[in-house]
Amino acid sequence: MARIVVDPVTRIEGHLRIEATVENGVITDAYSAGTMVRGFEIILRGRDPRDAWAFAERACGVCTTVHALASVRSVEDALDIHIPPNAELIRNLMYCTQMVQDHVVHFYHLHALDWVDVVNALSADPTETSALAKSISRWPKTSPQYFADVQNRIKRFVESGQLGIFKNGYWGHPQYKLPPAANLMAVAHYLEALEWQKELVKIHAIFGGKNPHPNYLVGGVPCSINLDEVNAINTERLNHVGYLIKGAIDIVEQMYLPDLLAIASYYKDWAAIGGGLSNYLVYGDLPMNGVRDVDQFKFPRGAILDRNLNEVHEVNGRDEGEIKEYISHSWYRYSVGDDTGLHPFDGETEFNYTGPKPPYEHLNVDEKYSWLKTPRWKDHPMEVGPLARMLVAYAHGRDDVKEVVHEALGHLGVGVEALFSTLGRTAARGLETRLAVHWMKEFYDDLITHIKSGDTRTFTQDMWEPETWPDVAEGVGMSEAPRGALAHWIRIKDRKIDNYQLVVPTTWNASPRDANGQRSAYESSLLGTPVAHIDQPLEILRTIHSFDPCLACAVH
């Protein structure tokens, strides 16, 4: 029996530590720990609720935007503010911008190196690579010369002896299965995607002034629409947005999806590894008729238990009996006792570190061992994220979702059960990106139609002034971040934040065990994973990366 420690887990956001025990080349137990905390929930107390989005947004610069969105929604829920339709459409556009960009970056820059051997790409035949690339998509950059140039560039880079970010990678590991041509194509697209990812987010700059961390506003969006003004959202600005969406559709349809399916076809064994939990939770998002009309969400809300796709359970963020956070294994203290779960409206955040003093070798996993709290839905551990979203939408019978899922499964020649795996998670991310990028076009067209009809409002003044607020108000702002179900709970008292709690996708997935010893998604998905070289954690990275960890989000 060996104890593997992976710390830092890299190509993620934030500070994650995995400890795992391996017996006979298979993981038998695993512990996931977040090792950095900042105390957002403490810092937010006593502040102006209208400022909260700017604080919350800084939980994470990778999924930048989603916390701002959840935050303004929580305040709007508490104060019963109904934002104008244009504001909703612009928020949806910003939301999709973030999701599409984040997923593409995750696939190429955070996840791909788990499947793609960069050094092996040097032995590829550029002509063969060109043929492969042409066979899977009509992406224009596919000439043999193009791939030869990329290969030469990598060659010189490797020969310089300075491998930079590729240094000490697991190159040559037996788990790398791609042929050289596919490796070279993926490396070329790694570079292309890196250059492209900075484009789409310009939509955030147009509507929110910058990316990362665009601006939000309680009651709407800060940008004004005025077709007759150079200082506002006008035709030029909207054209720019339209152009960026078009480019995104091309990238997703012609590069991301084909690459995803091509690579997946070499790793079908991973459709049986890393499934982990069998419960999935989705809050839903992309409102078509305001956030209060849940049935009109593009991503439907619901929970699935025991992988039963025939039943979708209703989810209510305000119900004190549904969502609770435990801290039995987290470095916090509850006034009501550390084994009790608290609904976020009554959530508490008080540090109570009991772990080893740094520097340390191992955490004491029998006691508290992480800065993440442990959220539970009706006391079930739940997986959240793209896979959960696709499953819940599928189980809801959403046609657009079913279509892309079936198409991908058919392409790979696997059944629906293949989704419950590391590979399924990675595939689901690509599929929802494909949906989202087309929805963007829809939102964009709706926005134009609206403006055409003469409605240019982007903000409602209702309840903006604190004098109009009730003395006490409570609200929950729910969203679907790229990594899964995200919600912020706010309690406003005397015009100030009295309590503010974030329960974040990666908190669901990466949390330590709960009071009943139930594992969360990361820990359970690692069970049974084969490990070829005990000193090279490639397989652990594959499964963990399939969740797209964000620990800064998770702890905040």
Partner 1 sequence: MTDPSIWGIMAQKGYSRRDFLQFCTYAAALSGLQSNAVAEVAQQFTTKPRPPVVWLHFQECTCCSESFIRASHPIVADVLLDTLSLDYTETLQAAAGHQAEACLHETMRDHHGDYILLVEGSVPMSADGVYCTIGGRSAEDILKEAAEGAAAIVAWGSCASNGCIQAARPNPTNATPIHKILNRPVINVPGCPPIADVMTGVVTHLLVYGRAPELDSRGRPRSFYGRRVHDTCYRRPYYDAGLFVASWDDENARRGYCLYKMGCRGPVTYNACGVTKWNEGTSFPIQSGHGCIGCSEAGFWDNGPFYQHLAAFPGFGIEATADKVGTVATVATAGALGAHAVWTNVRKHKAIKATIDESVNVTSDS
Contacts (CB under 6 A) with ligand NFV, residues 444-503: 481-483, 486
Q: How many residues does the chain have?
A: 556
Note whether 19 binds partner 1 by CB under 8 A.
Answer: no
Residue partners of 10: CB distance under 8 A and separation at least 6: none
Helix 144-159 / helix 126-136 crossing angle, nearest 10 deg = 130
User: Closest distance between partner 1 and the C-beta of residue 105, in Å?
Assistant: 8
User: Closest distance between ligand SF4 and the C-beta of residue 404, in Å?
Assistant: 34
Binding partner of residue 243 among ligand SF4, partner 1, ligand NFV, none, CB under 5 to 8 Å per kind? none
Size of the site for partner 1 (CB under 8 A): 108
User: Closest distance between ligand SF4 and the C-beta of residue 57, in Å?
Assistant: 9
Q: Rounded to whole angstroms, how far apart are CA atoms 180 and 484?
A: 34
Considering only 82, 380, 411, 457, the residue that binds partner 1 (CB under 8 A) is 457
Considering only 422, 550, 555, 556, the residue that binds ligand NFV (CB under 6 A) is 550
Considering only 3, 144, 232, 249, the residue that binds partner 1 (CB under 8 A) is 232
Note whether 121 binds partner 1 by CB under 8 A.
Answer: no
CA of 42: how far to CAs of 229, 262, 340, 403, 418, in Å? Answer: 43, 46, 20, 45, 42
Cβ closest to ligand NFV, residue 122 vs residue 393: 393
Note whether 16 binds ligand NFV by CB under 6 A.
Answer: no
State the sign of the Cα–Cα–Cα–Cα dihedral 319, 321, 323, 325. Answer: positive
Tell whether omega for the bond before 530 is within 30 degrees of 0, i.e. cis: no
Note whether 555 binds ligand NFV by CB under 6 A.
Answer: no
Question: Which positions from 124 to 163 touch partner 1 by CB under 8 A, shown as an x/- string?
Answer: -------------------------x--xx--xx-xxxxx
Which helix (DSSP H) or strand (DSSP E) does residue 496 occupy? strand 496-503
Binding partner of residue 491 among ligand SF4, Mg ion, ligand NFV, none, CB under 5 to 8 Å per kind? none
State the sign of the Cα–Cα–Cα–Cα dihedral 48, 53, 58, 60. Answer: positive
Question: Which positions from 185 to 224 touch partner 1 by CB under 8 A, shown as an x/- string?
Answer: ------x--xx-xx--xx-xxxxxxxxxxxx-x-xx-xxx
Cβ closest to ligand NFV, residue 213 vs residue 396: 213
Considering only 36, 131, 532, 534, the residue that binds partner 1 (CB under 8 A) is 36
Q: Rounded to whole angstroms, how far apart are CA atoms 61 and 234?
A: 28
Cβ closest to ligand NFV, residue 197 vs residue 460: 197
Cβ closest to partner 1, residue 213 vs residue 373: 213
User: Closest distance between ligand SF4 and the C-beta of residue 61, in Å?
Assistant: 5
Parallel, antiparallel, or unpaired for β 285-287 and 323-326?
unpaired
Cβ closest to ligand SF4, residue 58 vs residue 411: 58
Which helix (DSSP H) or strand (DSSP E) does residue 493 occupy? strand 484-493
Q: Which residue has the tokens 């051997």?
A: 117
Cβ closest to ligand SF4, residue 229 vs residue 320: 229
Considering only 47, 343, 398, 411, the residue that binds partner 1 (CB under 8 A) is 47
Note whether 384 binds ligand NFV by CB under 6 A.
Answer: no
Q: Rounded to whole angstroms, how far apart are CA atoms 528 and 29?
A: 8
Residue partners of 187: CB distance under 8 A and separation at least 6: 116, 118, 121, 150, 154
Binding partner of residue 8 among ligand SF4, Mg ion, partner 1, none, CB under 5 to 8 Å per kind? partner 1
Q: Are 104 and 509 in contact (CB under 8 A)?
A: no
Exposed/middle/buried for residue 442 (C-beta within 10 Å: 0-12, 13-18, 19+): middle
Which parts of this chain interact with ligand SF4 (CB under 6 A)?
58, 61
User: Closest distance between partner 1 and the C-beta of residue 384, in Å?
Assistant: 20
Q: Rounded to whole angstroms, how far apart are CA atoms 543 and 140?
A: 32
Q: Rounded to whole angstroms, how far apart are CA atoms 98 and 85?
A: 20
Considering only 94, 502, 550, 554, the residue that binds Mg ion (CB under 5 A) is 502
Considering only 105, 323, 553, 555, the residue that binds ligand NFV (CB under 6 A) is 553
Binding partner of residue 359 among Mg ion, ligand NFV, partner 1, none, CB under 5 to 8 Å per kind? partner 1
Size of the site for Mg ion (CB under 5 A): 1
Residue partners of 269: CB distance under 8 A and separation at least 6: none
Q: Rounded to whole angstroms, how far apart are CA atoms 38 and 48?
A: 20
Note whether 430 binds ligand NFV by CB under 6 A.
Answer: no
User: How many other CB atoms are there within 10 angstroms of residue 42's CB atom?
Assistant: 13
Residue 267, both tokens: 């790793």
